[in-house]
Structure 1
Amino acid sequence: MPKGNGNLVAQNRKARHDYTILETVEAGLALKGTEIKSIRNGRINLKDGFVRFRDGEAYLFNVHISPYDQGNLFNHDPLRSRKLLMHKKQIAKLHEETKNKGITVIPLKVYIKDGYAKVLVGLAKGKREYDKRETLKRKDQERQIQRALKDY
C-alpha cells in the first residue's frame, strides 16, 4: 500500500493472479453522498473493475458499491461509472500505454487516506494460462523453502 495512514477497504486479489502489474498510480474517486459511507463500511467489490478513457478523463467501470443501508431515496446506482481524479499528465500517460495490445488499467486497492477514498490503479498486462501456473509453482517453492529454513 502507498505511504501514508491509509486504511485498506478493499483489494482486488484476483488482479495479481490474472495480470502482470507494470506500474501503479494513486487516484481519487468522485463519489456521491452515500457512496463514501458504503465504502467506509467496506461494501465495495473491485473484482470486475476496469478503467476507460473519454474526453481526456479516466472513468472507473464495473466496480460495485452497495447502496447505503440508511440512504433511502438518496442512494446511488451500485454499478455506475465513477470519474477518477488524477493529473492530466498521468491520465495521458496511462491512456497512451493502453493503446498497446494486451495492456489495460485495473483497480487494485481502495483505501481511505486523510478522509478521502483513494483507488490504486495498475497498468496491467494479461497473463497466459502457463504464466499463471508458473507463478503458482514459484510461490509453492518459496513456501517450501521458508518451511525448510524455519525447521533449522
Structure 2
Amino acid sequence: MDIKPGVIVANKRIQHNFKTLERLEAGIELRGWEVKAVRSRTFAFGDSYCRFYGRELYVVQMSMGPYAFAHTTDEELKRRRRLLLHRRELIRIASLISQQGLTVVPASLSFSEGGFIKVDLAVGKFLATKGSRETSERRRVDREIRGYVR
C-alpha cells in the first residue's frame, strides 16, 4: 500500500483558541489497530493535550475510533500515547512549560516521507474567551468594511 505524505487531519480548534509560539514534529507510539484507525481517519483530537509522565511526553484524551476487526475496550480508545522525541527536545519543552506556563497540544497528524505517522505539536497559550471573541468580532468588522469598499 503506497501512502502519500501529507496531513491526515488538523486540529482546527487551536487556530481560534490558541496562540502558537513554537511548532515541533514528533513521532507517536501506536498499536497495530490504531495505525489502521488513523489510516481510515476514525479518530478525533477533541480536547487532547500533551503532558509529562516521568520523563516522557504523552498525548492525553486523543480518542481513536474502534477498528472493526480489532477487539478493543473503551479504555484503550482513549489511552495516553507516548510521543517520540529526542531528550534535548523533551528538556526544552519541559522548561517552556514550567517557566513560562505554556501548553503543548497536538496541531495535526500526518504521514512522513517514510510512511510513519507524525504529530505536529503546537507550544503556546490558550486565549482567554474575551480575546478570541474580540478577534472574531474584528474579523467580522473587517469583512463588512471590505464589502462596502467593493
Q: Give the CA deviation at 1:134.
A: 2.1
Q: SS at the partner of 2:68?
A: coil
User: 1:82, 1:118 → 2: CA distance?
Assistant: 12
Q: SS at the partner of 1:99?
A: helix
User: 1:134, 1:106 → 2: CA distance?
Assistant: 23
Q: Is the contact made by 1:25 and 1:120 (CA closer than 8 Å) also made in structure 2?
A: yes
Matching of residue 29 in structure 1 with residue 20 in structure 2? no
TM-score by length of 2: 0.85
Misfit runs of 4+, over 3 Å: 72-76, 141-149
Where do 5+ consecutive residues of structure 2 fail to align? none
Q: Give the CA deviation at 1:38.
A: 0.3
**Which residue matches 1:134?**
134
Matches within 5 A, 1:120-131: 120-131=120-131
User: 1:146, 1:116 → 2: CA distance?
Assistant: 43
User: 1:117, 1:146 → 2: CA distance?
Assistant: 41
Where do 5+ consecutive residues of structure 1 fail to align? none
Counterpart of 2:137, as a letter, is K
1:30-79 Cα shifts (integer Å, max 9, x gaps): 11011000001111111211111123211111000112112236998111
Two-structure CA RMSD over aligned residues (Å): 2.4
User: 2:39, 2:23 → 1: CA distance?
Assistant: 23
**Which residue matches 1:83?**
82
Alpha carbons of structure 1 residues 64 and 139: separation in structure 2 relative to 1, 3 Å: same
Counterpart of 1:121, as a letter, is L
Counterpart of 1:87, as a letter, is H
User: 1:69, 1:76 → 2: CA distance?
Assistant: 16
Q: Give the CA deviation at 1:6.
A: 3.0
Q: Is the contact made by 1:34 and 1:74 (CA closer than 8 Å) also made in structure 2?
A: no
User: 1:120, 1:42 → 2: CA distance?
Assistant: 16
Counterpart of 2:21, as a letter, is L
User: 1:26, 1:96 → 2: CA distance?
Assistant: 18
Q: Give the CA deviation at 1:14.
A: 1.0
Q: Is the contact made by 1:35 and 1:76 (CA closer than 8 Å) also made in structure 2?
A: no
**Which residue matches 1:47?**
46
Matches within 5 A, 1:1-150: 6-72=5-71, 77-100=76-99, 102-114=101-113, 115-144=115-144
| Number of aligned residues | 146
